[in-house]
Amino acid sequence: MNDLNALKGIGPKTINTLNQIGINSINDLVTFYPFRYNLIKRSLIDDLKQDDKIIIDGKIETIPNMFRIKKNLDRMSFKINTGTHLLNVVIFNRGFLKPKLKINTPISLIGKYDKKHNMVIASEIKLSFLPPTEKIEPVYHMTYKINVNSLKKYINLALDLDYEIDDYIPYYLSEKYRFMSKKEAIKIVHRPSSVTSLKQARLRLKYEELFVFMMRMNYLRMDKKNKIGLKREVDYDKVLKFIDKLSFSLTLDQMKAVKNIYDDLISPKRMNRLLQGDVGSGKTIVSFIAMYINYLSGYQSALMAPTEILAKQHYENIIKVFDDKVNIVLLTGKLKAKEKKEIYKDLSEGKIDIIIGTHALISDNVNYANLGLVITDEQHRFGVNQRSNLKNKGYTPDILYMSATPIPRTYALTLYGDMDISNIKTMPKGRKEVKTILKSEKEIKDVLEMMLNELKANHQIYVVAPLIEESDKVNLKDVGLIESNMQKAFGKYYNIGVLHGRMSNDEKDEIMNKFKNNEIQILISTTVIEVGVDVANATMMVIFDSYRFGLSALHQLRGRVGRSMLDSYCVLVSDYKTKRLEILTETNDGFKISEEDFLLRGSGDLFGIKQSGDMSFLLADVKKDYKILLKAKEDSANFLNNLDKYNDQGSINLKRIIKEASNLD
């Protein structure tokens, strides 16, 4: 039983809504896990300090006063009697509860305690007293399609069904680690009764995710099919002459990466290399040289970028480097049908040497005459299937992945153990370091003055709104507030644009192109600004509530500026001075930052907000759960080496995954 129609009282409209947020089955619903937990436990008011978290219950003492600040913002205030204290209460955007909040109504409050003013600044009101004992309350991501209470109701309905879910842990490993059943673990994650059982349940589910992931990685490493490549004969002197003709010199790290790739391409072994380097370190030119080596050997090259704007940027840059003898084309979804048809024909007939594009490169209509090299830029932005579909377009093409997200060596060897790795650590000569400055909200006037100086110099500025995990709606409210303030400060003389997650790809491209062409001077964004897009004239990045971002994410954002010889700045606005913010003011080295990020996030807090990791897992985080990952790596290798020994249901399910992976390759 895995059909959403099995849920009683849920009609087609609700099922359609669930489908829109990626929940298509009972399995999807029960694995829509909480992202954190609240430990509901009454606070002892006399033990609390200023701004401590408070969880308290009592009865309403005064009729609530409500004040509407503006259209989407209201403020409600009243007093509560806890039996020992009379406290002032303030809560925002809960005006709709006022009719239910009558004198003597029992309520519970969760929020922050302002001891100086004897006040609770509440974030949540519950219309009942707290339970007599501690309670662990799961907290789910909100979606704009469905409210959290409804989602909880549907999950609980599903948990009570006799649904089927595949277990991917072999019996001998479940016995070895004394794991509970998967269904029991899932139930506990949604209905925790104790911290101990919750940790055990999460450990079991995390281990399974990481075990399956590492089994795939180990299989790819062991699979002999992946080792047979194309043999080429290319004179390295021709490569050096090509490099000498460039208008700039390559760094030592770039030259080492080129030699690594050359050695891979001329060997009979299939190249499977990850080229990682900091933002602006010059990975792209190395990939162009790789395509030149491939061109000399008579094979076609394909470079797949995650967005049309980035694909176009690569195309514009590569035609400056190659001469007219090399036929280079750009293939994106926006081309007219006639233009696409002509490209498909030329590609299949071998008239095109290099093709650059988006996922359009892997559409069914695209056939290559002799694809020899596949390059994916920002490889983590593509799914495994997308990358495999591209490499399957040729007989056995060599593969080069590029990533601007440097990760620690030990970490890289574990996650990308089936790949060889080239690192570019040194930056090109003449590239200035971005100066990073930490400012508090009280110093916003200084920030505005710094922005004005850049604008007066005819430079452009990125402004990033805070990312709030729980709600996109809050994101948009925040960006609207920031836009309003920026319009007041600069709108009279400068153009301001906004980019957010609910825009269509066409709308995003239009805004980014306007910013690239300096038709917009200040770009406010709620999303991570397009990775890799160069706007040389952008010299300042202002990030509000920067403490909400991970260290690597902040470094990636900072990398959007400093793309030229101009002095550039990154301003981190935060009232909370954390260690990771201080690290950013001390170094621009992405590899050092990744090491620090790994150390800072090496152990997670079950009752803190989960920061998403580099890999896409439902519960596991490869940084926080690194020790589990290493154990899963060891166990999965042992399982693959002894496949014939195990025939329990978990092992059978794993063998099915291996067969699918084999067909994928």
Convert the pLDDT of each residue in 56-89 to its tens digit. Answer: 999 999 999 998 887 778 899 999 999 999 999 9
Residue indicated by tokens 């690597």: 552
Is a pLDDT exceeding 60 seen at residue 50?
yes
Cβ distance 160 to 151 under 8 Å?
Answer: no
What is the pLDDT confidence band of residue 212, given thresholds at 50, 70 and 90? very high
In percent, how much of the chain has pLDDT > 70?
A: 89
For residue 74 the two structure tokens come to 């209201």
Residues spanned by CATH 2.40.50.140 within the chain? 42-133
Q: What is the mean pLDDT of the chain?
A: 86
pLDDT score of 188 more than 60: yes
Task: Report the chain's terminal Cα–Cα distance, integer Å.
Answer: 32
Contact between 628 and 209 under an 8 Å Cβ cutoff? The reply is no
Q: Is 383's pLDDT higher than 50?
A: no
Angle at 90 between CA 88 and CA 95, to 5 degrees: 130
Contact (CB, 8 A) for 274 and 260:
no
Tell me the C-alpha distance between 278 and 262, whole Å.
22
Look at residue 111 and tell me whether its pLDDT is greater than 80: yes
One DSSP character per residue, 160-187 reads TS-------S-HHHHHHHTPPPHHHHHH
Q: Where in the chain is the domain with CATH 3.40.50.300?
A: 225-424, 435-587
Average pLDDT over residues 514-525: 94
Q: What is the pTM of this model?
A: 0.67
Does the domain made of 42-133 have the CATH classification 1.10.10.10?
no
| Crossing angle of the two packed helices 283-296 and 308-321, in degrees rounded to 10 | 60
Residues 6+ away with beta carbon under 8 Å from 119: 87, 88, 89, 90, 113
* Residues 158 and 2: beta-carbon distance below 8 Å: no
Give 528's pLDDT tier (boundaries 50, 70, 90).
Answer: low
Q: Can you identify the CATH homologous superfamily of domain 225-424?
A: P-loop containing nucleotide triphosphate hydrolases (3.40.50.300)
Q: What is the pLDDT of residues 473-485, one digit of tens each?
A: 444 447 778 888 9
Could you name the CATH architecture of 435-587? 3-Layer(aba) Sandwich (3.40)
Query: How many CA atoms lie within 13 Å of 239's alpha carbon, on the beta-carbon side?
Result: 28
**Strand (E) or helix (H) holding 306:** none
470: pLDDT strictly greater than 50? no
Alpha-carbon distance of 411 to 630, in angstroms, equals 10
Residue, of 369 and 550, whose pLDDT is higher: 369
pLDDT greater than 60 at residue 500: yes
Asked whether the predicted pLDDT for residue 626 surpasses 90, the reply is no
Q: What confidence category does residue 602 fall into, taking pLDDT thresholds of 50, 70 and 90? A: very low
In this prediction, residue 385 carries a pLDDT of 52
Q: Enumerate long-range contacts of 1-4, CB under 8 Å, 24 or more apart.
A: 1/26, 1/161, 1/162, 1/163, 1/164, 2/26, 2/27, 2/163, 2/164, 4/29
Residue 608 and residue 39: Cα distance in Å, rounded? Answer: 11
pLDDT at 233: 92
The pLDDT of residue 469: 40
Residue 661's pLDDT is 66
Alpha helices by DSSP H, listed for 119-226, are 148-159, 171-177, 182-190, 195-222
For 533-567, b/e burial (b = at least 16 CB within 10 A) is bbbebbbbbbbbbbbbbbbbbbbbbbbbbbbbeee
The residue to which tokens 């971005």 are assigned: 434
